[in-house]
Amino acid sequence: MRDSREQVTPIRDRAAEMFGGTANVEQWEIAALHRDHHSPDGAGVLATWIRVPPDQVDQGIEYYKSSVLPQLENLDGFCSASLLVDRGSGRGVSSTTFDSLDAMQRNRDQITALKATSMPEARAEELDECAFELALAHLRVPELV
């Protein structure tokens, strides 16, 4: 990552320019990653940004792996899920990918119910949630569960 910084910077800056924004670079740890199957074209991603007390990050990761992830796997159209964390701030982002935007929408009630029970149990605060159409799905990261 550090060795490629000089090569990536102009690519990142050009992408930000093309999208009419600015680049914000942060380094996050991939705490969990699970793929059931590859995401097809038109896949949907639900991303939820959270915060836990920084001294509770390890417990939050274990809770995600042992409790949240198994429930996500049972959702109709589930493709994959990941959890990225910034240990210093206690921030994290959970992303769940579905076969389609429609599959993501069909699961909204179950996701809302899961968040209502899991957030307090994990001592997590939801900061934001966004739904996206998946643009890039070819991370070369091994299974991390």
Domain with 35 in it: what CATH number? 3.30.70.100
pLDDT in tens, 127-144: 999 999 987 766 666 666
Identify whether 49 is part of a domain.
Answer: yes
Residue pair 138/40 in contact (Cβ under 8 Å)? The answer is: no
- pLDDT of 104 reads 95
Identify whether 47 is part of a domain.
Answer: yes
- pLDDT of 37 reads 87
Identify whether 10 is part of a domain.
Answer: no
Identify whether 57 is part of a domain.
Answer: yes
Identify whether 62 is part of a domain.
Answer: yes
Identify whether 30 is part of a domain.
Answer: yes
Residue pair 82/64 in contact (Cβ under 8 Å)? The answer is: no
Identify whether 46 is part of a domain.
Answer: yes
Q: What angle do CA 118, 61, 28 make, to 5 degrees?
A: 120
Residues spanned by the domain of 67: 26-133
Taking only the tens of pLDDT, the chain with its 145 residues reads 778 888 888 998 998 999 899 988 888 999 999 998 888 889 999 999 999 999 999 999 999 999 999 999 999 999 999 999 999 999 999 999 999 999 999 999 999 999 999 999 999 999 999 999 987 766 666 666 6
- Residue partners of 30: CB distance under 8 A and separation at least 6: 82, 83, 84, 141, 144
- pLDDT of 93 reads 97
Identify whether 8 is part of a domain.
Answer: no
Report the domain count for the chain: 1
Per the DSSP assignment, residues forming a β-bridge with 32 are 83
Query: pTM higher than 0.75, yes or no?
Result: yes
